Amino acid sequence: MPPSPNLIATGKTESGRETFVLNLGPQHPATHGVLRVKLEMDGEYVMRAEPVCGYIHRMHEKMGENRTYAQFLPNTSRIDYLSAMHYTHAFVGVVERAAGIEVPPRAEYIRVITSELNRISSHLVWFGAFLLDLGGFTPLLYAFDDREKILDLLEGITGARLTYCYYRFGGLYNDVDEEFLTGTREFVKYMRPRLDMYRKLVTGNIIFKKRLEGIGPINTDMCLRYGATGPVIRGSGVPCDVRKVEPYSVYPELDFDIPVFPEADCMARYNVRMEEMEQSLRIIEQAVAKLPEGPFIAAKVPKTVKPPAGDYYYAVEAARGRFAVRLVSDGKDIPYRVKLRTPSFANLTLYAEATQGMLLPDALAVMGSLDLVIPDIDR
């Protein structure tokens, strides 16, 4: 039985056994970056987990208040570098909402296509790294091989493979060509059988299932108390997805489902992300088929954006959950206030409660199931 969490402050359990402190990170592969988790242990059991943030803090919000709107645009892809398209989408979205800029339909469809490709790319990194945390090396090689195909496609139109700055206020940096569209269609056909292969290789593996099923239960109440979103809350049975509950861009014109698993354990969060990749393929396929002709950027976008004074908000469904930008403008070309609501920070805050009384190897599985990106926490 796991030990009682009482009397942690004295360094002893109720039975009088002494506890010890174990530092997980900030230089540990399981934390996927410079995150430190201070663990108070009773043998192999976690008595208390205290995440220690700030090792890579870069002051993005303060930088947003010292640069023009256009100058801050490249920062957004460096907050969560695995979900860069979504973060840039949120920032251009809030500026467009504030300044009253109309985005051409073609640009919105291309934003959706590139965002969903980026979502699959991000989930593939998580998939490979998660299996590596659990002791499996082979899936990482398959996942990164598939991810390279997405990076090749996005590099062809953006010139970058990771930190994209492709979106612009009112549209896009440049239009997509037929090579990109053909390559995207081919990738959709290629990726579906690969997802089936992943299910046979990993999802149905009895060792993998025993490692995750029933481990790390995070119920709906815990998600709501800590503000958890994305695959974490959908793995707890709540169909909350910004693309559906607060529709933006052209998502209302596309048909897709929100994967939900009620088991609320590590396996449920794994299943949500694997099903999300299938749904992203559905979205991409429809968006490419419906892609309209027309301009890729609005005709009249001011060179210097000065939104009217006011308080503005825009949210998107990023790979890790709800990312939102709150923008306060005083009518100048530099924002008065930029507040970033990042999903990784909210998802990390429940880690201490979720892992209390848990075996250390299981606590690492829970951390992997949260899919944390550390710069997204230390923004």
Quickly tell me which residue has 């930088």 as its tokens: 63
Residue 18 has a pLDDT of 87
Determine the pLDDT at residue 14. Answer: 63
pLDDT at 32: 80
Residue 374 makes CB contacts below 8 A (sequence gap 6+) with 31, 32, 33, 34, 35, 55, 56, 344
Sign of CA dihedral 99, 102, 104, 107: positive
In the chain, pLDDT over 90 holds for what percent of residues?
88
Distance between CA 154 and CA 162 in Å, rounded?
Answer: 9
Question: What's residue 4's pLDDT?
Answer: 43
Q: What distance in Å separates the CA atoms of residue 354 and residue 357, rounded to the nearest whole number?
A: 9
HSE, CB side, 13 Å, CA atoms: give it for residue 268: 22
DSSP 206: H
Among candidate residues 268, 255, 237, 248, the one with its CA nearest the CA of residue 317: 248
Handedness of CA 138, 143, 148, 151 (dihedral sign): negative
* C-alpha separations of 140 from 31, 137, 367 in Å: 17, 6, 17
Q: Residue 132's pLDDT is what?
A: 93
pLDDT tens-digit profile of 71-124?
999 999 999 999 999 999 999 999 999 999 999 999 999 999 999 999 999 999
Give me the domains of the chain, ranges plus CATH numbers.
8-52 (no CATH), 60-377 (1.10.645.10)
Tokens 């002791």 -> residue: 135
pLDDT tens-digit readout, 266-278: 999 999 999 999 9
What integer pLDDT is reported at residue 15 of this predicted model? 61
CA distance 61 to 58: 9
Axis crossing angle, helix 178-198 with helix 138-158, rounded to the nearest 10: 170
HEC secondary structure over 271-304: HHHHHHHHHHHHHHHHHHHHCCCCCCECCCCCCC
Rounded distance, CA 88 to CA 328, Å? 17
Count CB-CB contacts under 10 A for residue 152: 12
Q: How far apart are CA 323 and CA 309, in angstroms?
A: 23
Q: Are 153 and 179 in contact, with CB atoms under 8 Å apart?
A: no
Prediction pTM value: 0.94
Buried b (16+ CB within 10 A) or exposed e, 100-112: ebebbbbbbbbbb
Residues of the chain with pLDDT under 70: 1-16
DSSP H helical segments within the chain, as ranges? 60-64, 69-72, 84-99, 105-133, 138-158, 178-198, 206-212, 220-226, 231-234, 242-245, 266-290, 343-349, 351-354, 360-370, 374-377
Give CA separation, 370 vs 80, 352, 374, in Å.
Answer: 14, 13, 12
pLDDT of residue 272: 98
Per-residue pLDDT at 134: 92
pLDDT value at position 138?
Answer: 93
**Residue (of 58, 59, 64, 54) closest to 326 by Cα position:** 64
